[in-house]
Chain A
Amino acid sequence: MTSTVTPPVRKTGSGADRGDGGARRRRLPRIPDRIRHGGLPYLLLLPAVLLELLVHIVPMVIGIVMSFRELTQFYINNWDKAPWRAFDNYKIVVDFDAPLGEALLHSFYVTCLFTVITVGLSWLFGMAAAIMLQENFRGRGLLRAVFLTPYALPVYAAVITWAFMFQRDNGIINHVLHDQLGLTDEPSFWLIGDNSFIALVVVAVWKSWPFAFLMLMAGLQNIPRELYEAASIDGAGVWQQIRKITLPSLRPVNQVLVLVLFLWTFNDFNTPYVLFGDSAPEAANLISIHIYQSSFVTWNFGTGSAMSVLLLLFLLLVTAVYLVATSRGRKGSGAV
């Protein structure tokens, strides 16, 4: 593989550092203030702002309003006429003794467990792959392409293949585990019952570890080789170098990566939906599927919206806590 030339990344905060040093200023006359500070930036932003309003802000406001209304199938066509119910929807979905609330609590628990395991394994696999491919050796470019293939495959095509692999009677998983290795007494069901959680995790990890690999590989490019050279002259072995140089240098990348993986995994809809259809088994009933079901299968948009708002608040809280916790000691880089 030939190398790509990437312009050097300059660390810019949120654009606060306009001054690039006096020397350049003197050489180039300044851009007139009328262009710098006039209405032009707003003009440039206009299309994006309009679309943001259209696809994000307005829907979010409507979603919040809807969560206070009794929005069943009778009111879908005229949702502005749906009766106002204040916090009733919220009371229903957080009443953990009632069936609906209990199901929500269960799917929240399943989603958290699923997210922790999936993010952890994806990070581990991605990290291992990135470190193992850091050195140049024959076949490295090919392996990189191989590792990125799960990431490039369209979700539904890949996950439907996994669904085929997990079939009880004609799938490859049972063929290997039961017929060839004899590990199970009987062919297992993978897409119903408790095993479905394992199946879901396997597919989700398969799908997301290449992204971790991609990000960490990019991060490894930025570690100066001199650090390794100095360390090996001082007698540090490969493993020590990984522990003392690679891992600490990757901290900023890891902080972004773990947050992104967390949000994607927590919100994942595609994987369980293609794997199980619109009614996932209880053991693998992720929260996004749960909301989808209550909205588009049982047609109760009011409780669906209430659950969405609660999910949003939870994600905001976790993200805020995470950002505060990880940015402590790091100055200035507030960018996610």
Chain B
Amino acid sequence: MHSTHVLVCGGTGCHSSEGDKIRELLAEKVKEKGLDGHIKVILTGCFGLCESGPNIVIYPEGIFYSHVKLEDVNEIVEEHLQKGHVVKRLLFKESYVDGVIKPVNEINFYKKQTRVALRNCGLINPENIDEYIALDGYQALSKAVTEMTQQEVIDLVKTSNLRGRGGAGFPTGKKWETAFKYSADQKYVICNADEGDPGAFMDRSILEGDPHSVLEAMAICGYAIGANQGYVYVRAEYPIAVHRLEVAIEQAKEKGLLGKNIFGTDFNFDIELRLGAGAFVCGEGTALMESIEGKRGMPRVKIHRTSHKGLWGKPTIINNVETFANIPVIFQKGVDWFRSIGTKDSPGTKVFALGGKVKNTGLVEIPMGVTLRDIIFDIGGGIPNDKKFKAVQTGGPSGGCIPEKYLDISVDFESLAELGSIMGSGGMVVMDEDNCMVDIARFFLDFTVEESCGKCTPCREGTKRMLETLERITKGEGTLENIDTLESLSGTITIASLCGLGQTAANPVISTLKYFRDEYEAHVNEKRCPSGTCQSLLEYFITEKCIGCTKCARNCPVSCISGEIKERHVIDTEKCIKCGTCMEVCPAGAVIKK
């Protein structure tokens, strides 16, 4: 029996800082000391606190070590595992305050979270199906296929009121029912694991940390609607996720949990992987189907619902990874339990990828209805370097920027939409006073222009014109008229585009214009970028802090700095190319941007 479990994070973040090597070395040392009988070392999925990785948690006490290095392994083994002395210098800073050691579940970052979709992430070894099964995995599937009718399965999902986590929040049970009621010789289930949203990685973490929960849910959906084939459409950019899915499918097949005659019934269900190839628009349901069919991933004109005519013209259910991850646990713990979390109209939780200018960047899962302030300041720990919060962007390129005065709104589908943003897939990027909102709008339009599939003119041409206009403004060549143009284009593109990409492309512009119009005006009227981001509008300036060391003058590539030794230097702003070298090399911090 293993009484101590050492969990080493194997998520992408920690992996990149040698998490896997740390696990190997730990296991080796544990064996060397003859402790392997009662100490088990496991590589898990992401713990969520990627910022402080590589991370290790030791159970049963829940001791949380962060920023662990290979050199630290010996000490952890000899001090902690052998002698039972916690290695204080390696403790995560918030779990060791005023001489008191707090276990992992009592630190602020985790205290306000409720882990439903991420329930197994960071707890089990994703490459070992037995660990999933030990935590009641595949019980929901067993119950569904052996004890419930198709309608009963659908009713359960319907009454749970689970809403899709891939963006629009469409009720999952209702969608399944449509496909169930439509008769056809063949039906399909697709898991949308494309996650093209820049700044989001929750689907990746679920696939990497708990792939079986997704497979199990897909099979339940297959049973409910009467499909025998499932596809996971996953980004090729996620090699670890692809690998773990392959392993998981293999193991589930070996155990007879996928394949023919599941649980001795006549229900058959198989799952295959299909790799995406780097096109954001392929996350859109119909485009994704085109791509699986081996074509350019362009959205279809929707004459029919995909739950009637989807992949190869057959009824198809497409759900997001996180949506699926919620399903098995709803069967295990019941509808009432699920509905007791979150709000009435948005029950359950939502996973966010919290990034940008926030201290604890990482993955967080919160009950719906928690406020933005709670997420950013409590769980996220606030803004680093004593900077001021400016905005939070939710929903990626289809979403918007929310200013400080709305930080206390509840996070659910409706409240975010009211502010002109959306929940989207769950990217949440925090911006501080150094980020220029016009530049952020430009950044998203640049993304849209690159990713538009080109099928419809408003999206293809309109976004391009918007981008050019925004570029002109950030270069200081904009006029007030340009702002009007942006507004009218936004309206047209939103109503005249075929798919969600075009329909929402203007959102970042609309929301920044609404909440940060003064920044646009500063750019066009005063030719000034208030946050100091837009290069062309900046001037470098040497203050009286200058000690006259001449370093800047010697390094300036266009020799536009003059001054005597030990005297204050001056920049000829006419000639300056704004490369920033002087600021980088100045030992006295005398060069500023304004």
Chains A and B come from one and the same complex = no
- Measured CB to CB, the residues of B under 8 A from A are none
